[in-house]
Each structure stands twice: as C-alpha cells, then as structure tokens.
Amino acid sequence: MTMISDIPPARPLRVLVVLPLYGGSLPVGHSCVRALKSMGHLVDVFEAPAFHPAFTALKDLSVSSQNLGQLENGFLQVVSQAIYSKVESFEPDLVLSLAQAPLAAQTLRKLRKDGVATAMWFVEDFRIFTYWKGFAPLYDTFAIIQEDPFFEELEKVGQPNAVYLPLAADPDFHMPMELSSVDRRTFGSDVSFMGAGYPNRRQAFRQLIKYDFKIWGTEWDGDPTLERHLQFDGRRISSEECVKIFNASRINLNLHSSVQSDELVSKGDFVNPRTFELAACGAFQLVDERGLLFDMFHSDELATFDSMPDLIEKIDYYLAHPEERAEVAERGRTKVLAEHTYAHRMQTLIDFIASRRPGWPTPRRKAVDAMRDFPPELKEKLTSLLDRLDLPATVSFEDLIAVVRQQNGKLSDIETAVLFLDEWKKQYGGK
C-alpha cells in the first residue's frame, strides 16, 4: 500500500481523458470527465467511441483471420497516433486512460520520453482480464480496484506505482428522482436486477421467479425460465433508464458477476460501480458480501447477503419492512456523498501522482492571467467569453487558449482575437 500526499497541485491541471472504444469502463470515463471539470481542472476528451463503427466494420470484410488481425492492429495504431497528436495540441499535465483505451505501447513509450505523465484506471478484474501484464509497466501510474495479490503481481512486471482506487458514483447523475406514474409502472417492481446475464446470475435468479421480479439488460437470451421477467426484450439499458430503475424498485438486487455457475455468490474482492450508484440514488439494495465492501461501508449502510437462502430470506423481510429499507438506503447515500464520489477518486489519484512525481505538474511558461494579458478595449467581450466557458477571470492566457481550441463550430470575434493574439505572442515573444 502507498501513502497519499495531502498536498494538491498548485494550479488547475490540464487532463486529457482517453475513453475506450466501447465497454463497461466508458461510463466511468464520462464520470471522471465531469468530476475533473467540477474540481476546476481543464479537461479534454479523446472520444475513442467515435472510431468504434469503423473498427467493427473491419469484421465485415471477407478476409482471413490473420489478415483481419493485422488490419485491426493497424487501425488501433492509427487511433493511438491520433491520441498522440491530441497530446501535442493540448499539452496536458496528465493523460488518464480508462481500461481498454486504444493507447498502443509505442505511443506510451513516446509519452514517457516526452515527460508526459500517464495513468490508467484499470476498472476490471485482474484475474480474468490479463492484458494488464503487457501495458501496466508502460504507464507512470496504474490505478486498480483490487488490492493484494494484485499489487504484488504489478511489482513483478515492473509497475511499482500502483494505487488502490475503488469505483464510485456521480452524484450529479446518480440521485433520488421523482418519477411519473408512467415511469413507476414501467420501471418499478418489488425486486429488480439491472445487468448482464452472467452464468451465476442466470442460475441464481431462477430461484426468484415467484416474486414481482424484473430483469433489465443484455445477454439473457435463451433462458425460457427467466424470459417473462426480462424487460424491453433484453436490449441495452441507457444510463438514464438505470437511474429510473434504481429509484422505482423496492429492492435492487446487486449480485456481482461470475463466469462460474457452480458458485452463485462468489464472495470476490472488488466492489462494482452499481453498489455506489444505487447508494447515491438513495435506492435500497441487497448486495452480495465482498472482501473489500466493509472497508467502504458499515454494516448498517448496506443490506448484504452471503448465500441464496440468505438472499431469499432478506427479500421477504425487507419487502415487509419499508421503513427499514428507507433508513438503510439513506445511510448508504450519506456515506457515498461523503467518501465515494468520482471527485474523491480523482483527488486521490492526483495526490498520488504528485507524491510520486516531484515538481509535478511542471510550471507553465507564463502564469499571467488572461484579463491582464488582453487589450483593455476588448476586456468586456473577454469577460463574457470567460463566463460562457465557465472560467475564472484569473485563468492563465495559456489555459484560455487551450479551452478555446476545444470549442466546436464557428469562432466568435473574441475567440478569433484570442487565437490571433496567441499567434502574435508566439511569433514576437509577447513583446
């Protein structure tokens, strides 16, 4: 385990967040972006999902598996080079990648040579997704959702800068919600589950069909016992719909996934994002006991189960005791807001990097604020621009330029003037 510095960086950071092409870490990445912005940092995003349709289209080609592999690898190399170009333009203090982000080894080596700090948040089970062995040593910081023996395994492959960073909730998105009567009928039930149909869940939920039970999510096809409980024909559920389900259900089941069906309650270690998201919504959940769960929640802040008989007994109990459900849910929400938001996680990550990189972040060339650096006759327009971009009047000219370059669409007169002044300063040294 590592100690975290309590000394934050002396100025707002520029952070480039690299999203994965697709997958479960994509919403985590979006939450990181919102959290970093709310903390006052300047954030740019590499939208890797925009490349996903082209990547999947390669599979439609009538080529051999060997040629397809070469094409996919070449495509990912191009995407990785695009990320590097983004770095050159934005000049970030930190490149933060989410699990499965398309950053190639060659690009990571170039970023290290350039002195650009890199971090990955590996929000996956290291025992199942083992690609970390090749990539972990190439990142300056590796954030993980499990503890030992993962720390020991990372040391073995040459990654000493690992930090335990459990998942979290986004309280601006995961929150209590007043639902319409239509939404309550659509999304409500005595018992619900939202997630993919892993083998252990399929087996477990066959014991729950006597309840008013709704199942939401994908990969449940081919199971006639559960078919009538599956909602929306097993389509993907949007993040907005998830929040409605959480709020509308009397009991939200939270059974962690397992590819094994012989042990329905796996008693694993990491805690999934649903645990925090349900709590942030003020929703009642029954979650299977996990090795790291009680490091983050007290026993009265979540209702847990350790076996299927225990789960069934507690479903019956809590359906009959709505007041206790509400009390447990409120305590869980209080804990998440106090300790388990994405802003908490991003601050922990930033503090850890600062403790391991003396002098980070590197001072910018000039820290004069934009208002002092701009011609007096245009300061009123500049004030309006800063308000629109949600920037303080003391923002540095460099950071103002970085944010303006991120904007889409036609430039306003003041934006054009700002960029022109930047070019003039570069050419004549600001004299």
> Is the pLDDT at 285 greater than 70, yes or no?
yes
In the predicted structure, residue 195 carries a pLDDT above the cut 50: yes
What residue ranges do the domains of the chain occupy? 14-168+342-356, 181-339, 376-428
Between 89 and 336, residue with greater pLDDT? 336
Q: Which CATH number fits domain 14-168+342-356: 3.40.50.2000, 3.90.79.10, 3.40.50.720, 2.40.128.20?
A: 3.40.50.2000
Tell whether the model's pLDDT for residue 389 goes beyond 90.
Answer: no
* Average pLDDT over every residue of 115-143: 96
Q: Using the predicted structure, report yes or no on whether residue 98 has a pLDDT greater than 60.
A: yes
Per-residue pLDDT tens over the stretch 6-46: 444 557 899 999 999 988 899 999 999 999 999 989 999 99
**Per-residue pLDDT at 159:** 97
Does residue 1 surpass a pLDDT of 70?
no
Q: pTM to 2 decimals? A: 0.85
pLDDT in tens, 251-264: 999 999 988 777 88
Tokens 């998830």: give the residue: 242
Give the model's pLDDT for residue 259: 81
Mean pLDDT score of the chain: 90
Q: What is the pLDDT of residues 198-231, one digit of tens each?
A: 999 999 999 999 999 999 999 999 999 999 999 9
Question: With the CA atoms of 142, 265, 336 and 332 taken in that order, what torsion angle do they form, in degrees rounded to the nearest 10?
Answer: -170
3-state secondary structure at position 214: strand
Please give the pLDDT value at position 192.
98
Question: Residue 429: what pLDDT?
Answer: 61
First to last CA, the chain: 50
pLDDT tens for residues 66-82?
999 999 999 999 999 99
Q: How far apart are CA 170 and CA 38, in angstroms?
A: 11
CA 310 to CA 111: how far, in whole Å? 51
pLDDT in tens, 310-321: 999 999 999 999
Same topology for domains 14-168+342-356 and 181-339, yes or no?
yes
- What pLDDT is recorded for position 371? 61
The answer to which of 160-169, 213-222, 298-307, 372-381 has the lowest mean pLDDT is 372-381
Q: What percent of the chain has pLDDT over 90?
A: 76
Q: Which residues, at least 6 apart from 405, have a Cβ–Cβ distance to it below 8 Å?
A: 89, 90, 419
HEC secondary structure over 314-352: HHHHHHCCHHHHHHHHHHHHHHHHHHCEHHHHHHHHHHH
Q: For residue 149, what pLDDT band results from cuts at 50, 70 and 90?
A: very high
Q: What is the crossing angle of helices 65-90 and 397-406, to 10°?
A: 140
Residue 381: predicted pLDDT: 81
Do 289 and 264 meet the contact criterion of CB atoms below 8 Å apart? no
Percent of the chain with pLDDT over 70: 94
CATH of domain 181-339: 3.40.50.2000
Query: Among 352, 275, 265, which Cα is nearest to 310's?
Result: 265
